[in-house]
Amino acid sequence: MSKYFKSAALVFQVACGVQLFNNYVAEFTWCFGPSMLPTLNMTGDIVGFEHLTQRFSKLGTGDLVVAISPTDPSKLVCKRIIGVPGDKVVIDPVSPYRQYITVPPGHYWLMGDNLSNSTDSRAYGPVSGGLILGRVFARLWPSPKWINNGLEEIVEFS
């Protein structure tokens, strides 16, 4: 009988370890839809996202994040951070009438890479940092690749 208790205890310990890893280190999710083309495939990618950046440093402009949807809490969204707290951002860069907003403290301005087909902060406004689950670090399937910050610094020479 003790053999079964040892096996059950081992299974319980492994399950607890997996749960702790998912909650505090990293987890995986399936992202699909046209909003992140060409970075992610429309038919779906499995991506890994980590929770450590939020705990030990700051999320930055250009980071790809997974967040709870502000309009439907049962769904997740994968978007790029365009503005961090205090940044002044254009609400809709494809609109001929430019309007700007300052991102409030504790919030982020999120947008999809495919501006013509993305529901993002242009529709639901700044997203609370509490809704952001983590920073995407890799696409695991169908073609594995590391995902770095998607925005490059523009250097002007005078």
Which residues have a catalytic role annotated?
35, 79
Q: How many Å apart are CA 107 and CA 128, to the nearest integer? A: 4
Q: How many Å apart are CA 45 and CA 92, to the nearest integer? A: 27
Q: How many Å apart are CA 37 and CA 1, to the nearest integer? A: 55
Residue with tokens 């169908």: 142
Max CA pair span of the chain:
79
Burial annotation 107-126 (CB, 10 A radius, 16+ → b, else e): bbbbbbbbeeebebbbeebb
- Asked whether 154 and 61 are in contact (CB, 8 A), the reply is no
Residue with tokens 């700051």: 58
Would you tell me how many other CB atoms lie within 10 Å of the CB of residue 129?
A: 17
